[in-house]
Structure formats: C-alpha cells, structure tokens
C-alpha cells in the first residue's frame, strides 16, 4: 500500500523517467535517422520536464513581475530551473538542427535515411573499393 | 599578480571571440595563422595561471557580478590549471601543424568554418575544466560535442559524415543522461554550484539514497560514453579514423581528456570521497579500466589501418586513466593526471605522423608501410618515439605514467591491477612495434620503389619534433610536473 | 522560374514583411520585459527574410550567405565583447548601461544589447540554414 | 671510499653522440662510420682502464644521482663487479669492431650497422655502471631495442622472424622485471644496490608475499636474457645475425648482461642470506640447463647454432656459481664470465672467418679446412681446449673454483654435472677440429686461402688474451676477492 502512495505523490518522476526511457530506446535502437532525432527530442523534453518540476512549489504564481512592484519572493515559484531550461532547449534545438543537416547530406550521398542500409552500402563500397 | 585571477575566463573569451571572428577573415592562410596566434596567447595565459596556482594555491573567480550560489564561479585548482595548460599547449602544437596540412585535407570553402569550430572546441574544453557550476559544465559539454562532431564532418566525404552522425547520436545520448543526473542532484540539493551541492549532499544523502545512486550511475554512464570508457567506446574508431588528421588528433588527445576531467571534477567535487566510497565506484572503474586495457589492445591488434589502430589504442589509454582513478589513492591519482599529459602528447604525435604518411604517400594500411622509414625519415623517427612511449620504454613518459599507476596499485594492495598494466603494455608492444619494424627493417614491396626522402615544410615537422623531445624529457625528468600534479591529489 | 502571374504572392509579401519585421524587433527589444527576447525575436525576423526570399524566387545565394555569415559573426563578436565587459569591468557596465527603472525599455542593464546581438545572430543563421537547405533541394 | 669521476658519463653517452655524428657525417665520406666506431671503442676502453685502476685501489667510482621522480633516480656507481664486466666488454669491443671492418665489407646498410653497434657499447657500459635496479632496468630494455636492428640486419624473412622472437622473449622478461621492481620498491622502499642485499628481505615482507616469489620474478626475467633452458630458444634463432653481432652480442654483451644483472639481483638486491633458504631449487634448474644445452649442441650441424647452444650451457656454469651463494662459487661464476667471454668470442670470430672465406656454414662441409686456413683453425682448436677446461687453460681455473664452491655448498652431485658437461663440451667441439685437420679436403675447400688480415689480427690478439687470462687468473681472483667480504 505504501508503495502506491509513494508512487502517487512522485508521479512527476515516473512520467519523466518513462518518457526518458522511451526517448532513449528510440534514439538507440531505431535505425531510421529521422526517428532517432524524434527520439532524442522526446528524451530531452522529458529531462526538461523533470528539471522544471523540481522548481515548482504548490500554490505559487509564475515568476513574472507585473508593473515592477515590490518583489516578494514567497509568492513566486523558483525561477532558476525554467531559466536553465531555456538554455537546455537552445542546446537541444542546435543538436537537432545539426543532426537534420547531416541527415540531408547523408540522403544526398547515400540516397537513404536508414542507418543500416547506409552501413551496408558503405561496407559493399569498401569491400570492393 | 591579481590580474592572473581572471586569466581562465580570459582564455575562454579569447577562444570564443576568436572563433566568432574566423568567418570574417578574408583568406584561408590568415585564418589558420589566427588560430595559431589565439591558441598561443591562451597557452601563455594558462602558463601564467599554472604559475599563479603553484605559488598561491587554488582560487575561485565569479564570472557574473553575483557571488557563488547564484552566479557562475570558476574554481581553479591544481587539477584545472594543469588540464587547461595541457589543452592550450597541445592545441597550439596541433594548430601549428594545421597550417600546412589543413588545406590539403579539408575543402577550401570549409577551412574558415573548421578554424572557428577548432577554437570553439578548445574554448569549451577549457570551460569544462575551469567551471565550478555543473549546469555551466553541461553547456560546455554540449558545445564540445557539437564542435567535435563539426570538425569531423567538415571533411565532407561519405565516411566522415556517417561517422559524425553515429558520434552525435551517442553523445546526445550521453548528454541526456548527464542532464538527467544534474536534474536529480538539483532536485535534492537545490543549487548548482559544485561546492554548495557537495555541502548539502552530505546532509541530505541519507534522505534520498536512491536519487544519489541513480545520479551517480547516470554520470558514470554519461561521461563514460563520452570519454570512450571501455564497453561504451564503439563510436570512437569510426569517428577518429575518418576525421581529418588535425581533428582526429584533437579528438583523441584532448576531447576525451576534457570529458574524463569533467568526470573527475564531478566525482571528487560533487560527490566527494565519503559518498564515493559508499557507492561501488571503485570496483566498477577497476573492472571497466582493466577491460579497456586488455580487450582494447586485442581489438587494436586486429586492425589493418593505422588510424583505426590508433583510435583503439586511445580506448586503451583512457582505460589506464580510469584504472588509475579506481585506486583512490594519491599515487594513483597522480598517475592518472600524468597519463592525461602523456597520452595527449603521444597520441597527437602518432596521429599527426599517420596523417603525414597518408598525405605524402597515400598509404593507410599497415602492410603498405614497408620501408617507409627511409622515405619519410623524420615522420617515422618521431612515430617510433611515440610508439616506444606507448609501449612504456623507460626513457619515455609512458613509463613514468605506468610506474605511478603500478605503484599506486601496489599501495592500494591490488597486485592484479599492476599485472594487468604490465600485460597491456606487452600487448601495446604487439601492435605498435610491427609498424615501426616494417617501416625501418622491411624492404618496400616491389610496387612502390623508394623515391628520394620527402622533406617536410618546417611547420609540419617542428611541432612533431617538439612533442617527441617533450616525451623524452618527460620520461627522463618529469619531477617538476609531478610535484605540481601531486598537489591536486591531496583530496585522496 | 517564377512567372509573372505570381504578382499576388509578391504584393502580399511586400505588404506583410514590414509588419512581421516590426513584430520581431518588438520581441527582441522587449526581451527583458515580456517573454521572448533574442532567440524568438530572431526567428520571427528570419521568417520575414525567408518569406521575402521565397516570394522573389530562389535565385543564387552564394554571396548572400557570406554577407549573412559576416553579419552573424559581427553580432557574435559584439555579444562576446559586451559579455567580456560585464566580467572584467563590472562597474563600467553600470555607468554605460544604467539599471534604470524596472519596467521601461532601458531598464535591463546589459541585457538589451545582448538580446539585440543574439537576435541578429539567430536571424542570420536561420536564413543561412534555409538558403543552404533550399539550395540543396 | 667514494670517488666522483665525471668521466663515467662519457662511455654511456659517447656512443649516442657517435650515432648522431655518424648519421650527419657519413653522407659525405664513406669511411666515417668506421672511424667513429673505432675511436669511441678505444676511448671507452681507456676510460675503463682508469676506472679499474681506481677500483682496484679500493675506491668505488661514482657520480651523483639524477632525480627522475621522487621514487626513482638514475645513479651510476662502479664497484669491483661492474668494473670487471665493463673492462672485459670494452676490451673485446675494440677487437670485434676492427674484425667487423673486414667482415662487413660489401654488406648493405653499413651505416646503420656501425651506428647501432656503437650504441650497444654505450648501453652495455650503462648496465655495468648502474647503481640501482631502475638504471639497470632502463639499459636492460634499451639493450633489446638497440640490438634488434643488428639481429635483423639482413632484413630477410628468417632474420625478421628471429627478431620478432627475440623481441617477444626480451619484452616479456623485461615486463616481469618491471613487476618485480615495483614490488621490491613497495616492500623495501629502495631500489639501490646494497652489497650483501637489502635488510628487509631477511625478515618477513609487509605484504606477506614470500621472498621466493619476488626472486622467481627476477630469476625468470633475467633468465630470459641469460638463455636459461626453457627460455633459451631466441639465442639460436638470433644466429641469423652477421657473425660479429652474434659473436659480440650473443657471447658477450646481451647474454652476459643477463647473467651480470642476475648476479646484481642475487648479491646486491636480495643478498645471500635471504636467498640461502631456497637456492637449491634454482641451482637444479641451472644444472639441467647446463646439461640440456650441451646435449642439444651435439645434435647441431650448423657451426654457429652449435656455438649458440654451447653458450647456453656455459652460461649455466656462471649462474651455477652465482646461485651457490658462497664465496668460492661467486668467484668461480664471475671468473667464468671473463673466461667464457674470451673463449666464445674467439670461437665465433673463427666461424666468421670460415664463413667469409668459404661461405659454408654446415660443419660437415668443412672437411680439410685446417690445411687451407691453418691459423684460424689452429686458434679454433686452442679455444676448444680452453672451453673444455683442460688444466693449464683459463676454462679449467673457473671450473675448478665452481666445483670447490659446490663442494662448500654440500652439493657433490653438481661436481658430477660439471665433469659430465665438460665431457659433452669436448663431444661437440673436438669433432669440428677433427674434421678440419684430419679428413681429406674436398674440392671447394682446396682453393680457399687464409682469412683476410683485418680479421686475422684481432683473432690472434684475442687468442693471446685468452691464454693470458688463464695465466694471470690469480690477479683477477685477488681483484674479485677485495669485494667479497661485503657481499657475504
């Protein structure tokens, strides 16, 4: 019984870990490059979800100042994780953009986006080259 | 003397601003010379930092106007100063070598981009070593992975693009794990500065034992994957062998080291000795290290192409570093740091000479290298110095790092580790010496008779000769370096 | 390959581009006040550039890319220098870029110029990406 | 008494200097490499004469240690044993260098041959002068690296295979010594050679590892280079090298370095008391090696391979003397280093002369060679007599001390082994002399004339030296006796 209660109030951890594992396995096991990139994004979003959920305090507002009044930190949620995740998102976007650019180049060079086929072609080319 | 305190940040700025300027430079030669100038300036600055740390000990430096727990701070100790000095100086030598060779391997339109990526890579590696904030370290790790993949794919041919994709996939896997570990640690301790996390972690550890265990496993897997720890090293041979010469030299000599230093900083800084001894880290690192050292050498023996063999031998040498770390004693740690310096020099030397051979004679596989010693005397002489250092001959720096790790193993009571090290240096001999033997003592196959010996332009041969001399000097008299390093080993 | 019967597209693009640009610039300049800032503002500016490029035909982009690359790297260098100023001469930035009254345009100290630089960089890089990938197809 | 003499560095560094000059200079003049190698050999010999003069006066010539790291130092110090070995090696080096002028005429890549030949001289001096285990280990490994190019000089398939085998054996031996060295440092805290051995080895060792385990590491490690039977197969294979190389390296420098380091390990690292408990087992291994080497030698048809197997068994004599761990055994063993070195080098040089003149390497092809090359074969016969150990010659003196030593150690069986092996030595040497003088020469041998003068003079000089060492054996024994009391 206590484990169910334990799971109940840690649902954030469960959600982010399952998402992480899904993304991890897609990125690792799938041979299609586009699917790999999608898997990578799922993995990154799950980590961002966990990171931001660490900063959430029940019953408080989002950390945006209206009209520059006096700032009482007690009313607001912890802003640090969301600021960090901005950088995290930028990093994830740039890695995705780089991977997409490489996929386009690979498609032009090999005519396919599937890593296994690419390895076959290269091995057959290397074999007789 | 106080201005030296902001040199580490200055080095990072110089590298990044230098890499931003690169696209603006008009012709290719100026951009290559700019790279050399910038890395030379920063290695001078890093030498000043080393001198400063040697005289007045560690120091902290707040990058932003806010102080530690909120702003990012750089904690520069003996370990960090040493690693920054290694990165900058070896980077300078590689960039000097690059003046002659980069134009020959990378298509002209990409050279400016290559130089920008090269400087950004050196800057982000210095960042990994210098920073005291783990999220900032994560950002630098990401920059290093992207720029490292960049300088592989800049060669624009089939193999390098495919190797880059593979490398980028693996490294984004690792980054995911590292970021998840950081999220967990942040969840428990509430801040990102290494010192503060360590402070809170020791209190809060008993409340969240599973979080700490999971975070440490994720960090080991993440950094292990990036630093080519033994079972997670499969991306390395493709990536390092299909990259252009200078980038494969930077990759295996410096990038792997930066990640292992990141691992050391987090393990000793964030977790600290108390937590580390609770976690089964010792046994994990020892078995993975021994696996790398033995099985890596066997894999390297089966290779027929030089660059792939050198790539596998990088896995072996990284295995030495992890083996030395697993000993958890002062001599072992000094051995690990000295091995970082030794491998950075030796591996760069070997990759550069392999690149030379490939360019001047177009030969890549080891059988074709018969009698090449007489065609390229300087390159092969330098290559054999590097090979003998890898084998651990007494007069070379390779022996000293093996001696320290071996002696540390005995002090830690693990004679098995010493035997593993000695067996692996024999295995290293088994795949390095045939190359040297066939270069000097085998007559060239009838096909390619020897033309007269190739004389290399000065900027290609000078860095290689400097590195060979450094290897021998470090072999004969490593004392000043080792006394400086053992300052970092006080934590054990 | 763009025949003249695409007048509608050209006219619509000519009408829309200034509004998109102003909106992007607004987001970039008010980065420290309203959500958005360098990155999102830069992408909006880039979208207006890309709209313009499509509407006026995918003609050769070699020199354009170099120019854009130049602008991006100049903006990056300025970003780096402003950051370096902040680190090495903290009091200098207060005098030149005042903290000001929270809430109005010049209140963010060094954040505003940084946002502008980042906006330029992102706009140029996005545009270069589009040209490169567009060229390949 | 300590006497610092900076000249010691010269023999160790000179050949390296010679190497560099040779590579630079020889592009212009052909003969330059020969001039350099003979001058460095003579210079080193002169320095060794000075060293042995001071050492015989009771001084130990040394140089302040160079600090490598805070564990290890490179330290040169010459005591009686080191001075004797250095003197012997440098003396013979001169003659063999002159001999190889004649032998190498017409061979390819002479520059590389003479360069590495001189470097090996420096490294052998390094081994002789080393004052701690680490310096000995450095030069021990460098010797393998420097002798490899000489072994594979012909660069044909056979030479490269022999070279590969040589490398594998030597590096595995060196690896064992590295482990032993680190263990010794960990348990005793120092690697320096202390006459009479480290005190730590007398009691129990901190790690609870028995002293015998340490000694096995060193015994096998150094045993590889001193061609003990189970680890000997690289020596006959290395006979592929040109004769001066196999003469000098495999009769004097390489194998003697192995035996010399074993003596250093027994008497200066572990010390006689520590070894006394378990030296019986090692002595029997060595005895087996003596007999096995001689038996195999009889079966060989190739002249140089037969001499190689005889080296294996003769080295067994030296190890026997060293491992008996009593003063007379020690004297006999070290004396045999000197005697065997002189005799074996003469035998190899005669073989070289025969090969250059007739091109024949098999023993049964040499029928009646005695009539054609009387001087060479006469010296060969003389050397065989010395090696067998017939009374007036130097071979007899060392065998006499060895048997006295084994009697002191209470091992009468060893005396029987010594006598039996003397018989076997006669069994594989005298038939050669028989074939040479007392059988009718067949046609190819008729036209052969005497060895060229540049090879004959060093041969004759070495023969006289061989006889002299027999006559003045007591001078050498007194020289050694001086160093005995500290060792025991």
Record: contact C35-A97, CB cut-off 8 A: no
Cβ partners under 8 Å of residue D266, min gap 6: D272, D275, D322, D323, D325
Strands (DSSP E) contained in D220-303 are: none
Confidence grade of residue D486 (pLDDT, cut at 50, 70, 90): low
Burial of B487: CB neighbours in 10 Å, binned 0-12, 13-18, 19+: middle
Cβ partners under 8 Å of residue B346, min gap 6: B386, B389, B390, B397, B398, B467, B471
Name the residue facing B21 among C77, C84, C86 (closest C-beta).
C77
Name the residue facing D142 among B391, B395, B404 (closest C-beta).
B395
pLDDT surpasses 90 at D71: no
Average pLDDT over residues B296-309: 90
The end-to-end CA distance of chain C, in Å, is: 15
Name the residue facing A51 among B149, B172, B183 (closest C-beta).
B183
Averaged confidence pLDDT in chain D:
83
The domain tally of chain C equals 1
Lowest mean pLDDT of B18-32, B398-412, B433-447, name the range. B433-447
Q: What is the pLDDT of residue B180?
A: 92
For residue D152, the chain B residue with the least C-alpha distance is B441
Cβ partners under 8 Å of residue B131, min gap 6: B72, B74, B75, B137, B140
Record: contact B479-D68, CB cut-off 8 A: yes
Give me the DSSP letters along D407-451: HHTT-HHHHHHHHHHHHHHHHHHHHHHHHHHHS---HHHHT--PP
Confidence grade of residue A80 (pLDDT, cut at 50, 70, 90): confident
Cβ partners under 8 Å of residue B138, min gap 6: B175, B178, B179, B182
Place of tokens 């990994």: B128
Please check whether residue A102 touches C, CB under 8 A: no
Chains touching B, CB cut-off 8 Å, 3+ pairs: A, C, D
Q: Are D408 and D326 in contact (CB under 8 A)?
A: yes
Give SS3 for D29.
coil
Please check whether residue B150 touches A, CB under 8 A: yes
Give me the DSSP letters along B33-89: HHHHHHHHHHHHHHHHHHHHHHHH--EEEESSSS-TTTS-EEEE-HHHHHHHHHHHH
What pLDDT, in 10s, does the model give residues A21-62? 999 999 989 889 999 999 999 999 999 999 888 888 888 887
What pLDDT, in 10s, does the model give residues B159-204? 888 899 999 999 999 999 999 999 999 988 888 888 888 888 888 8
Q: What is the pLDDT of residue D26?
A: 58
Confidence grade of residue D478 (pLDDT, cut at 50, 70, 90): confident
| Tokens matching residue B242 | 């299909």
Record: contact C80-B24, CB cut-off 8 A: no
- Domain range spanning residue D471? 285-488
- Domain range spanning residue C52? 4-136
Compute the nearest-CA separation of A24 from chain B (Å). 7
Q: Count CA atoms within 13 Å of residue D130 on its CB side.
A: 27
pLDDT surpasses 70 at B213: yes
Q: What is the pLDDT of residue C136?
A: 53
- Which of B158, B182, B190, B214 to probe the A interface (max A CBs under 10 A)? B158
**Inter-chain contacts counted by CB atoms under 8 A, chains B and D:** 79
User: β-pairing, B59-62 with B73-76?
Assistant: antiparallel
The domain tally of chain D equals 1
Residue D41 belongs to a domain: no
Name the residue facing D155 among B407, B441, B479 (closest C-beta).
B441
Record: contact B422-D171, CB cut-off 8 A: no
Q: What is the pLDDT of residue A128?
A: 53
What pLDDT, in 10s, does the model give residues C87-99? 777 776 666 666 6
Record: contact C129-A101, CB cut-off 8 A: yes
- Which of B14, B22, B24, B63 to probe the C interface (max C CBs under 10 A)? B24
pLDDT surpasses 70 at D200: no
Angle, helices B209-226 vs B256-264, to 10°: value is 160
Q: 103-122 in A: which are within 8 Å (CB) of C?
A: 104, 108
Average pLDDT over residues D322-328: 84
CA distances from residue B52 to B2, B82, B91, C82 in whole angstroms, order as listed? 9, 12, 21, 27
- Percent of chain D past pLDDT 90, that is, above it, reads 1
pLDDT surpasses 50 at D132: yes
CA distance B122 to D151: 46
Compute the nearest-CA separation of A55 from chain B (Å). 8
Burial of B471: CB neighbours in 10 Å, binned 0-12, 13-18, 19+: buried
Average pLDDT over residues D57-61: 78
Lowest mean pLDDT of D405-419, D442-456, D458-472, name the range. D442-456
Burial of C9: CB neighbours in 10 Å, binned 0-12, 13-18, 19+: middle
Confidence grade of residue B146 (pLDDT, cut at 50, 70, 90): very high
Average pLDDT over residues D420-424: 90
Between D391 and D204, whose confidence is greater?
D391
Compute the nearest-CA separation of C102 from chain A (Å). 6
Confidence grade of residue D196 (pLDDT, cut at 50, 70, 90): confident
Chain C neighbors of A101, CB-CB under 8 A: 129, 132-133
Average pLDDT over residues D79-99: 87
User: β-pairing, D2-4 with D60-62?
Assistant: parallel
Q: Count CA atoms within 13 Å of residue B128 on its CB side.
A: 28
Cβ partners under 8 Å of residue D63, min gap 6: D4, D5, D6, D8, D9, D75, D76, D77
The end-to-end CA distance of chain B, in Å, is: 30
Q: What is the pLDDT of residue A129?
A: 45
pLDDT surpasses 50 at C137: no
Chain A neighbors of B187, CB-CB under 8 A: 50, 54
- In CATH, which of 1.10.287.3510, 1.10.150.240, 3.40.228.10, 1.25.10.10 is domain A2-59+76-128? 1.10.287.3510
Q: Count of CB atoms within 10 A of residue B28's CB?
A: 17
Which of A58-67, B25-34, B341-350 reaches the highest mean pLDDT?
B341-350
Compute the nearest-CA separation of B21 from chain A (Å). 20
The domain tally of chain B equals 1
CA distance D318 to D256: 9
Chain B interface residues facing chain C, Cβ-Cβ under 8 Å? 6, 9-10, 13, 16-17, 20-24, 63-65
Lowest mean pLDDT of B57-66, B171-180, B428-437, C40-49, name the range. B57-66
Lowest mean pLDDT of A66-70, A109-113, D110-114, name the range. A66-70
Q: What is the pLDDT of residue D16?
A: 76
pLDDT surpasses 60 at D177: yes
Report chain B's C-alpha Rg in angstroms: 22
Please check whether residue A69 touches C, CB under 8 A: no
Q: Are B151 and B162 in contact (CB under 8 A)?
A: no
pLDDT surpasses 60 at B450: no
Record: contact D175-B441, CB cut-off 8 A: no
For residue B429, the chain D residue with the least C-alpha distance is D171
Strand partners of residue D66: D74
Report chain C's C-alpha Rg in angstroms: 18
Residue B125 belongs to a domain: no
Q: Are C73 and B6 in contact (CB under 8 A)?
A: no
Residues constituting chain B: 492
Record: contact A91-B142, CB cut-off 8 A: yes
Q: What is the pLDDT of residue B347?
A: 94
Q: What is the pLDDT of residue B249?
A: 92
Q: Count of CB atoms within 10 A of residue A105's CB?
A: 18
Q: Are B61 and B16 in contact (CB under 8 A)?
A: no
- Domain range spanning residue B399? 280-492
pLDDT surpasses 70 at C58: no
CA distances from residue D72 to B410, B472, B477, C26, D192 in whole angstroms, order as listed? 16, 16, 10, 69, 10
What pLDDT, in 10s, does the model give residues B346-369? 999 999 999 988 888 888 888 888
Average pLDDT over residues B403-430: 90
Place of tokens 């070195």: D341
CA distance A62 to D130: 76
What pLDDT, in 10s, does the model give residues B70-105? 778 888 888 999 999 999 999 999 999 988 888 888
Residue D379 belongs to a domain: yes
Q: Are B53 and B7 in contact (CB under 8 A)?
A: no
Average pLDDT over residues D436-458: 76
Record: contact A50-B187, CB cut-off 8 A: yes
Lowest mean pLDDT of B63-77, B255-269, C44-58, D321-335, name the range. B63-77
What b/e string do you get for D282-300 counting C-beta neighbours within 10 Å, with b at 16 or more?
bbebbbebbbbbbebbeeb
As a three-state string, the secondary structure of C28-76 is HHCCCCCCCCHHHHHHHHHHHHHHHHHHCCCCCCHHHHHHHHHHHHHHH
Please check whether residue B217 touches A, CB under 8 A: no
Average pLDDT over residues C119-136: 82
Chain B neighbors of A51, CB-CB under 8 A: 179, 182-183, 186
Record: contact C73-B9, CB cut-off 8 A: no
Q: What is the pLDDT of residue D28?
A: 62
Averaged confidence pLDDT in chain B:
88
CA distance D217 to D174: 10
For residue B370, the chain D residue with the least C-alpha distance is D155
Lowest mean pLDDT of C22-26, C45-49, D445-449, name the range. D445-449
Record: contact C86-B64, CB cut-off 8 A: yes
Chain B neighbors of A28, CB-CB under 8 A: 173
Record: contact D142-B394, CB cut-off 8 A: yes
Record: contact D141-B394, CB cut-off 8 A: yes
Compute the nearest-CA separation of B237 from chain C (Å). 30
């Amino acid at each position: 019984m206590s484990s169910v209660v334990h799971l109940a109030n840690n649902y954030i951890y469960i959600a982010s870990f399952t998402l992480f594992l899904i993304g991890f396995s897609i990125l690792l096991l799938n041979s299609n490059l586009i699917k790999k990139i999608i898997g990578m994004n799922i993995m990154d979003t799950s980590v961002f979800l966990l990171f931001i959920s660490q900063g959430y305090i029940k019953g408080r507002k989002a950390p945006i100042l209206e009209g520059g009044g006096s700032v009482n930190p007690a009313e607001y949620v912890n802003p640090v994780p969301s600021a960090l995740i901005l950088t995290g998102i930028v990093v994830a976007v740039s890695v995705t953009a780089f991977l997409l650019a490489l996929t386009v180049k690979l498609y032009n060079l090999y005519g396919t986006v599937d890593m296994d086929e690419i390895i076959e072609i290269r091995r057959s080319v290397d074999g007789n080259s | 003397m106080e201005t030296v305190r902001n040199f580490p940040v200055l080095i990072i700025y110089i590298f990044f601003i230098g890499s931003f300027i690169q696209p603006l430079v008009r012709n290719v030669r100026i951009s290559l010379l700019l790279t050399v100038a910038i890395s030379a300036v920063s290695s001078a600055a890093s030498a000043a930092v080393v001198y400063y740390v040697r005289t007045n000990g560690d120091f902290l430096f707040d990058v932003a106007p806010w102080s530690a727990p909120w702003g990012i701070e750089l904690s520069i100790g003996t370990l960090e100063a040493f690693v920054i000095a290694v990165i900058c100086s070896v980077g300078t030598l590689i960039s000097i070598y690059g003046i002659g060779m980069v134009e020959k391997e990378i298509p002209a339109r990409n050279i400016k981009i290559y130089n920008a990526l090269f400087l950004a890579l050196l800057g982000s590696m210095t960042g990994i070593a210098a920073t005291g904030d783990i999220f900032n370290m994560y950002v630098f790790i990401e920059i290093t992975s992207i720029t490292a993949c960049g300088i592989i794919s800049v060669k624009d041919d089939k193999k390098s693009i495919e190797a880059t994709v593979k490398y980028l996939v693996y490294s984004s896997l690792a980054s995911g794990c590292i970021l998840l570990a950081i999220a967990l640690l942040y969840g428990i301790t509430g801040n990102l500065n290494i010192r503060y996390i360590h402070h809170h972690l020791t209190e809060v550890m008993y409340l969240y034992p599973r979080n700490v265990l999971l975070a440490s496993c994720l960090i080991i897997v993440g950094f292990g994957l990036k630093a080519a720890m033994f079972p997670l090293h499969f991306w390395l041979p493709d990536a390092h062998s299909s990259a252009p010469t200078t980038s494969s030299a930077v990759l295996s000599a410096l990038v792997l080291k930066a990640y292992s230093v990141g691992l050391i900083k987090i393990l000793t800084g964030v977790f600290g000795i108390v937590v580390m001894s609770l976690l089964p880290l010792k046994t994990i690192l020892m078995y993975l290290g021994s696996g790398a050292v033995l099985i890596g050498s066997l894999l390297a023996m089966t290779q027929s192409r030089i660059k792939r063999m050198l790539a596998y031998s990088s896995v072996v040498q990284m295995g030495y570093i992890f083996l030395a770390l697993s000993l958890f004693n002062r001599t072992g740690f000094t051995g690990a740091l000295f091995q970082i310096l030794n491998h950075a020099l030796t591996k760069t030397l070997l990759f550069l000479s392999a690149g030379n051979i490939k360019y001047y004679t177009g030969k890549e596989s080891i059988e074709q290298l018969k009698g090449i010693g007489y065609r390229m005397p300087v390159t092969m002489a330098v290559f054999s110095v590097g090979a003998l250092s890898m084998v651990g001959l007494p007069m070379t720096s390779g022996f000293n790092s093996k001696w320290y790790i071996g002696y540390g193993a005995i002090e830690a009571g693990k004679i098995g580790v010493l035997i593993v090290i000695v067996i692996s240096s024999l295995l290293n001999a088994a795949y390095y010496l045939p190359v040297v033997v066939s270069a000097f003592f085998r007559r060239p196959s009838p096909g390619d008779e020897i033309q007269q010996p190739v004389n290399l332009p000065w900027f290609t041969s000078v860095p290689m000769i400097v590195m060979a001399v450094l290897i021998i000097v470090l072999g004969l008299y490593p004392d000043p370096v080792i006394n400086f390093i053992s300052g970092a080993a006080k934590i054990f | 390959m763009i025949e003249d019967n695409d007048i509608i597209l050209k006219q619509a693009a000519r009408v829309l581009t200034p509004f998109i640009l102003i909106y992007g610039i607004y987001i970039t300049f008010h980065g420290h006040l309203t959500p958005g800032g360098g990155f999102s503002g830069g992408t909006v500016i880039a979208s207006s550039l890309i709209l313009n490029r499509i509407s006026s035909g995918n003609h050769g982009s070699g020199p354009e890319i170099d120019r854009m690359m130049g602008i991006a790297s100049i903006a990056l260098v300025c970003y780096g220098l402003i950051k370096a100023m902040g680190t090495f001469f903290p009091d200098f930035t207060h005098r030149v870029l005042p903290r000001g009254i929270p809430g109005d345009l010049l209140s963010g100290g060094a954040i505003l110029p940084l946002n502008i630089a980042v906006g330029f960089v992102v706009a140029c890089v996005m545009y270069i990406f589009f040209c490169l990938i567009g060229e390949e197809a | 008494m300590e006497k610092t003499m900076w000249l010691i560095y010269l023999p160790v560094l000179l050949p390296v200097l010679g190497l560099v000059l040779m590579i630079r200079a020889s592009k212009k003049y052909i003969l330059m490499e020969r001039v350099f190698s003979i001058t460095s050999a003579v210079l080193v010999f002169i320095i060794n004469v000075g060293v042995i003069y001071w050492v015989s006066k009771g001084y130990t010539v040394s140089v302040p240690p160079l600090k490598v790291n805070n564990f290890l130092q490179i330290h040169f110090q010459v005591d009686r044993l080191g001075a004797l070995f250095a003197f012997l090696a440098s003396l013979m080096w001169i003659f063999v260098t002159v001999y190889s002028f004649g032998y190498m005429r017409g061979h390819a890549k002479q520059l590389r041959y003479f360069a590495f030949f001189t470097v090996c001289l420096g490294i052998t001096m390094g081994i002789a002068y080393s004052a701690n285990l680490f310096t000995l280990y450095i030069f021990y490994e460098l010797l393998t690296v420097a002798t490899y190019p000489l072994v594979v000089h012909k660069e044909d398939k056979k030479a490269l295979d022999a070279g590969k085998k040589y490398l594998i054996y030597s590096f595995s031996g060196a690896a064992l010594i590295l482990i032993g060295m680190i263990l010794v440092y960990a348990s005793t805290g120092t690697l320096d050679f202390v006459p009479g051995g480290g005190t730590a080895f007398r009691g129990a060792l901190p790690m609870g590892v028995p002293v015998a385990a340490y000694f096995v590491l060193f015994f096998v490690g150094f045993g590889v280079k001193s061609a003990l039977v189970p680890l000997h197969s690289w020596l006959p294979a290395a006979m592929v090298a040109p004769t001066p190389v196999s003469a000098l390296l495999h009769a004097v420098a390489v194998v003697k370095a192995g035996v010399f380091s074993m003596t250093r390990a027994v008497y200066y690292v572990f010390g006689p008391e520590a070894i006394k408990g378990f030296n019986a087992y090692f002595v029997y291994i060595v005895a087996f090696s003596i007999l096995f080497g001689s038996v195999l030698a009889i079966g060989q048809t190739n002249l140089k391979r037969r001499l190689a197997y005889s080296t294996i068994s003769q080295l067994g004599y030296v190890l026997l003397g060293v491992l008996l761990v009593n003063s007379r055994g020690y004297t006999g063993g070290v004396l045999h280093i000197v005697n065997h070195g002189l005799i074996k080098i003469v035998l190899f040089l005669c073989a070289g002369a025969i090969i250059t003149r007739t091109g024949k390497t098999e023993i049964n092809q040499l029928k009646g060679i005695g009539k054609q090359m009387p001087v060479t074969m006469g010296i060969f016969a003389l050397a065989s007599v010395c090696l067998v150990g017939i009374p007036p010659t130097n071979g007899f003196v060392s065998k006499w001390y060895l048997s006295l030593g084994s009697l002191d150690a209470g091992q009468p069986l060893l005396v029987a082994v010594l006598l039996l092996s003397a018989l076997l030595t006669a069994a594989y040497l005298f038939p050669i002399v028989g074939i040479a003088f007392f059988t009718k020469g067949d046609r190819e041998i008729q036209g052969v004339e005497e060895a060229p003068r540049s090879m004959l003079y060093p041969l004759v000089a070495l023969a006289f030296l061989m006889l002299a060492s027999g006559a003045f054996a007591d001078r050498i024994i007194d020289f050694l006796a001086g160093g005995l009391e500290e060792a025991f």
